[in-house]
Amino acid sequence: SQLDLEPILAGLNNAQRLAVTNPSSVVQILAPPGSGKTRTLTSRAAWLLCPPQSLDPRNVIVATFTVKAAREMKERISKLVGNGVEGRLVLGTFHCIARKYLVKYRHLVDIKPGWGIADSSDSLGIRIIKRRKSPLDPSQVRSRISYFKARNSSPVADALPPPSTAGTQSAQARVRDIPTEDFAQIFEDYEAALGASNLLDYDDLLLRCLELLRHNLECVSNVEAVLIDEFQDTNLVQFELMKLLAWKRERITIVGDPDQSIYGFRAAEIRNLSRMVRAYPQTLVVHLEQNYRSSASILLAALEVIEQDHDRPKKPLTPSHSVGTRPVLRRIPSAFLEASWIVSEIQRVRAMTGGMVELGDIAILVRSANLTRNIETSFVKAGVAYKMVGGLRFYDRVEIKTLLDYLRIVQNPGNNDALTRIVNTPSRKVGDTTIKALLDEADKRAKSVWEIIRTGLGGIWKDVRIAKAAEKGLGDFMGIILSTQKQLEGDEQGKGLVDVVEFLMRRIGYEDYLRRSYPEDFDAKWSNVSELLSQAQEVERLDDDEDTLPDIDGLPQSQVEQSRLQLVLDRFLSNTALANEVKGDDETVKQGQVTISTIHASKGLEWPIVFIPAVYQGSIPHSRADDTDEERRLLYVAMTRAQALLYMSCAVRNSQGDKTKLSQFLTHRSLYPLLDSRGPTLGFSSVQSVSGILGRECPSEVHIQIAVDKSGVASTLDDQFPDRDPLESDSEGDDLGEDGARLKRRRLQSEQASC
Ligand code: ATP
Ligand code: MG
């Protein structure tokens, strides 16, 4: 009834409402940034769950791009529908969803019990490359392997994907510069090593799930609807998964924006959008045109950037907010001064807006993580709290990783990768020679290293020469693992995973070890460990439903021979692995902290104030990127994260001291009048427009602070616009009047062009 739907549809515009309530079975919502795609998708999920549709949440699958996005969507759906519905939805990233199916139906694809998810570290690649004496860089090899697996092809059979879009072309280029045979061998070793450790990597999760569903369609015969966010960044395997998940009812809703496809380097396929229309001729394509996020002037500047791609069809995009303050583009003498300019601008804006803007409203978005050092330093100096997102990930920190490795071995002792990493941490006199001997023996006998240690310590394997001291060390190590495993068995009331982890840490002597090894950083490291413990506690509280897909009649599920605590440990380790897939996904930013993030990790998010430093050639477009269009889309994604104020900057000399050139995406003449490249940037009207866009109360008193530019910033930009029209004068300050007229003129032009 109309009444039931009211909370779901409230606050949506007409186009969004139609998309939410559309009776078509296959709906593709294509729309620009900030047009409410994610919001519309969330509402459609809620609509499907409410009467009269009333789908059972366990039969509805929702795929998001990040774990963080999944969490937010769950919260929203819970607000809209209630009844704890969100806990029963199959909602998560593709990898989370695939894992659920593999947990339940492992036996149908011959995955051995006790399997784990390989984390994203490079140690496996390093070991293999070392053994092959190959000169290749481990992390590159790893990403190449992943590229192939994501395209569901082996390197030998499909060494050169068919030439087509720029995206695949660049991948080809990357493939060509390594001898295929060498790579094929490494690929084989890598796969064998995963198999020997009973591990699946991220791509395997999807591929094995694909295999499962292909041969056992009845596993998903219950699925009533499939919804996918950020569809432009799905890969071929995910596309196939979507088709299989939805085979029974063919009810699919996807939202996406081809202009925001930024994961082509990881084999994402923009063409999945057209592929979908071909696969489902009944697809209804819906466009949304109203942007609710950004000020009109930010939008226009962003559009000017994306429209430089002439092959791109023109699309209408209507701003909802007023013109606002023109985006700022500053040329600054050095990277050091650029960083201090950002800090002083932040302080100035905060002072002017009298508490309306908080640190949590601000983000610094960078093309690559190594650009942040200067900025971090100046934040520290000025006492501005910040959070680095997508830098060294929480689960990759040494104190966390080591502990997780222990737990991984407790869960699956056959995990050679984890075992060789930590068998000698803290030192047990098990040196590299011993480890190598163990690995060789394991290879030779097709057994795991653990198995070799367990059965070989008495000297059964004659070939393994192990020093007395090392033998004792290995014995101690085995004792720790075995006794912790014992802790997990049985179902002692009131005992939690935290107790087990604490037991393990006591057996290792972990606190002592950290204190000895990191006397300077011990406190920080120990507080990270506490954070991990509280996450372990969190997992315990989660509903058991979380892991449970509905039972299908006549379809046996994997035998669960595990105790409750073993299951909890499984879930905990999977969570940590899955959150590590997208860089920065595991980070939560607290209020009162500026966010520093890579552009890639900022997808789908928004902030009132955004800084994009280092917009120079070689940074964006990046010197190592071979798809310029994807780089342009990256800048577009970054710019469209901003709601009210957007600052871009470019040091004349970068932090290496090299002279830079402004990014080619920003030197177009048509951009010049849309950007503020000189003068003080904020006046009273800016503060008013910020308050309008954010819907926050304007401070009663605005403290105008004129920026005193000590860095010689102003007016050095002109030489960056070689074909600038000299008659087009750049006015100072934030004059909305004249700007407004100019923006209108520009919009008219672009509308005419699109007619
Ligand atoms: P992106 O492409 O960046 O992922 P998106 O299209 O998914 O963006 P959302 O994140 O869903 O956009 O929405 C952007 C902002 O606009 C959010 O703050 C959202 O709450 C708001 N919004 C969406 N629809 C409306 C509406 N009809 N009225 C007011 N605000 C809206
Ligand atoms: Mg979105």
CA distance 124 to 128: 6
* 13 CA closest ligand 1 atom index: 27
User: Nearest C-alpha to atom 11 of ligand 1 is from which residue?
Assistant: 36
Residue 755 lies in a domain: no
* 230 CA closest ligand 1 atom index: 4
Q: What is the dihedral of CA 368, 369, 371, 375, to 10 degrees?
A: 140
Q: Is 32 annotated as a binding residue?
A: yes
Residue 113 lies in a domain: no
User: Nearest C-alpha to atom 16 of ligand 1 is from which residue?
Assistant: 292
- How high is the pLDDT of residue 157? 43
Tokens 């006492």 belong to 383
Instruction: Identify any residues that bridge with 29 across adjacent strands, giving them in sequence order.
Output: 255, 286
Same domain as 403, residue 490: yes
Q: Is 52 annotated as a binding residue?
A: no
Residue 501 lies in a domain: yes
Residue 79: CB atoms within 10 A of its CB come to: 12
Instruction: Identify any residues that bridge with 613 across adjacent strands, giving them in sequence order.
Output: none
Ligand at minimal distance from the CA of 40 is 1
* 640 CA closest ligand 1 atom index: 3
CATH code of the domain covering residue 236? 3.40.50.300
User: Nearest C-alpha to atom 24 of ligand 1 is from which residue?
Assistant: 36
CA distance 45 to 544: 22
* ipTM of the predicted assembly exceeds 0.85: yes
Q: Say if residues 220 and 213 touch (Cβ distance below 8 Å).
A: yes
Q: Is 355 annotated as a binding residue?
A: no
Q: Is 36 annotated as a binding residue?
A: yes
- How high is the pLDDT of residue 729? 37
Tens digits of per-residue pLDDT, 82-130? Answer: 878 877 889 999 999 999 999 999 999 999 888 888 876 656 666 777 7
Distance 62 CA to ligand 1 centre (A): 18
Distance 418 CA to ligand 2 centre (A): 36
Q: Is 360 annotated as a binding residue?
A: no
pTM of the prediction? 0.83
Q: Is 37 annotated as a binding residue?
A: yes
Residue type, 122: D
- Spell out a b/e string for 391-410, using b for 16 or more CB atoms within 10 Å of the CB, else e: bebbbbbebbbbbbbbbbbb
User: Nearest C-alpha to atom 9 of ligand 1 is from which residue?
Assistant: 36
Residue 160 lies in a domain: yes
- How high is the pLDDT of residue 208? 94
Tokens 């917009």 belong to 615
Same domain as 643, residue 526: no
Same domain as 79, residue 181: no
Q: Domain tally for the chain?
A: 4
**Mean pLDDT per 10-residue section of the chain, whose length is 755 residues:** 72 94 95 96 95 92 90 90 84 93 92 83 68 74 80 53 41 51 81 86 92 94 97 94 96 96 88 95 95 96 93 88 91 92 91 86 91 88 86 78 94 90 92 88 86 76 74 93 91 85 96 93 89 86 65 79 85 83 62 89 93 96 90 97 96 89 93 81 75 83 53 42 40 41 47 39
Residue 114 lies in a domain: no
* 41 CA closest ligand 1 atom index: 11
Q: Say if residues 31 and 257 touch (Cβ distance below 8 Å).
A: yes
Same domain as 596, residue 472: no
Query: 256 to each of 36, 57, 488, 503, how far by Cα in Å?
Result: 11, 23, 44, 47
Residue type, 455: T
Distance 230 CA to ligand 2 centre (A): 7
SS3 646: strand
CA distance 138 to 132: 12
- How high is the pLDDT of residue 100? 92
CATH code of the domain covering residue 487? 1.10.486.10
Distance 606 CA to ligand 2 centre (A): 10
* 257 CA closest ligand 1 atom index: 2
Same domain as 642, residue 739: yes
- How high is the pLDDT of residue 352? 83
Distance 690 CA to ligand 1 centre (A): 17
Q: Is 21 annotated as a binding residue?
A: no
Same domain as 219, residue 185: no
* 12 CA closest ligand 1 atom index: 27
Distance 506 CA to ligand 1 centre (A): 49
| Two structure tokens written together for 384 | 């501005």
Tokens 């869960």 belong to 411
Which of 138, 162, 196 corresponds to the end of one domain? 196
Q: Say if residues 341 and 713 touch (Cβ distance below 8 Å).
A: yes
Distance 563 CA to ligand 1 centre (A): 44
Q: Tell me which residues have their CB closer than 6 angstroms to ligand 1.
A: 11-13, 16, 31, 33-39, 257, 260, 292-293, 604, 606
Same domain as 633, residue 528: no
Helix (H) or strand (E) holding 60: strand 60-64
Which of 196, 223, 258 corresponds to the end of one domain? 196
Tokens 């002072």 belong to 351
Same domain as 314, residue 279: no
| Two structure tokens written together for 156 | 């030998």
Ligand at minimal distance from the CA of 76 is 1
Same domain as 469, residue 569: yes
User: Nearest C-alpha to atom 27 of ligand 1 is from which residue?
Assistant: 12
CA distance 188 to 129: 12
- How high is the pLDDT of residue 665? 97
Same domain as 212, residue 189: no
Same domain as 479, residue 419: yes
Tens digits of per-residue pLDDT, 378-403? Answer: 999 999 998 887 666 678 788 999 99
Which of 196, 220, 240 corresponds to the end of one domain? 196
Q: Say if residues 77 and 42 touch (Cβ distance below 8 Å).
A: yes
Concatenated DSSP letters for 182-248? HHHHHHHHHHHHHHHTTEE-HHHHHHHHHHHHHH-GGGGTT--EEEESSGGG-BHHHHHHHHHHTTT
Q: Domain span at residue 218?
A: 2-106+205-291
Same domain as 374, residue 434: no
Residue 112 lies in a domain: no
Distance 112 CA to ligand 2 centre (A): 37
Q: Is 35 annotated as a binding residue?
A: yes
Task: Give the strand order in the sheet containing 284-287.
Answer: 90-93, 60-64, 225-228, 252-256, 26-30, 284-287
| Two structure tokens written together for 541 | 């509280």
Residue 631 lies in a domain: yes
Written in H, E and C, the secondary structure of 490-559 is CCCCCCCHHHHHHHHHHHHCHHHHHHHHCCCCHHHHHHHHHHHHHHHHHHHHCCHHHHCCCCCCCCCCCC
